[in-house]
Amino acid sequence: MLRVKLSVVYALLPAAVVLLLAGCSSAPIDKTAGMSPNAIYADAKDEMNTGKWDTAIPLLEKLEARAAGTPLAQQAQLDKAYAHYKAAEPAQAIATLERFMKLHPASPALDYALYLKGIITFNDDLGIFSAVTRQDLAERDQKAAKESFESFKELTTRFPDSKYAVDAQQRMNYIVASLAQYEVHVARYYYRRGAYLAAINRAQTAVSDYRDVPATEEALFIIYRSYDAMGMVQLRDDAKRVLEKNYPQSEFLTKGRKSDSDPWWKVW
């Protein structure tokens, strides 16, 4: 009885092995095979519209290859960059945009590519921790902010009539203000630790490199306070005169702070 059952099993083994090997050797099915470029793009857009960035990206890559040399392939590249950005893959997004700009320097969508690159490197989303740390762009690494500024600057210079130019200019203004505030943030750090010369140097950078920004007022105040702390009376008085001339109603001189902030030089 047992012998019969074993013989049946042995008889079935070759067929099972063949089926198993056939399954292992079969290539993945390309669901886009036979689809037109427009149909692939429609599917990719559907995935993007529902936030399925991970599934949209392979479709856009297929489309880029399938429609090479056409405007649809260019659109696929731009959409892929955006999808990478939304999927929290900024490096891939930037690489895709740089490749697009290199391959299509005369594209009518070049202004959008520059704008999207600026948006990606603008990187002002601090997430849930911003409410806890009260951290803003001025307190973070400024490399990305400078790269973002350069993208927006190129956009507004080359395409002043672009529909993205106004927003790009506003973001540039914010970046300039934040870069100046970053210098003040560092100067404040040095002042709190008694490194008054270093505080003066960083505050002077904010004054000389960035004009007409809110941070200038506090930068001048830090210079004034630092000279005062070092007992350099003449330079202290010179700094104070400059502050009073440019900000005659400055609350830093009367309160050591703005009305909506703490007097950092007393508290810290």
So where are the chain's domains? 46-122+136-165, 185-267
- Taking the CB of residue 99, how many other CB atoms lie within 10 A of it? 13
Pair 221, 252: CB distance under 8 Å: yes
What are the angstrom distances between the C-alpha of 54 and each of 66, 67, 85, 210? 19, 21, 11, 41
**CATH 1.25.40.10 matches 46-122+136-165:** yes
In this prediction, residues 231-242 reach a mean pLDDT of: 96
pLDDT band of residue 196 (cuts 50, 70, 90) is: very high
For residue 14, what pLDDT is reported? 54
Note the pLDDT tens digit of each residue in 123-155: 644 333 333 334 555 455 578 888 999 999 999
Which SS3 state, helix, strand or coil, does residue 135 take?
coil
Nearest 10 degrees: Cα torsion 222, 225, 230, 234: 100
What's the mean per-residue pLDDT of the chain? 83
d(CA 186, CA 200): 10
pLDDT band of residue 30 (cuts 50, 70, 90) is: confident
d(CA 74, CA 209): 39
**Could you please report the per-residue DSSP string of 17-60?**
HHHHHHHHHSPPP-TTTT--HHHHHHHHHHHHHTT-HHHHHHHH
For residue 258, what pLDDT is reported? 66
Note the pLDDT tens digit of each residue in 213-232: 999 999 999 999 999 999 99
Residue 92 reports pLDDT greater than 50: yes
The model carries a pTM of 0.74
Closest CA to 56 of 36, 76, 35, 34: 76
pLDDT band of residue 261 (cuts 50, 70, 90) is: low
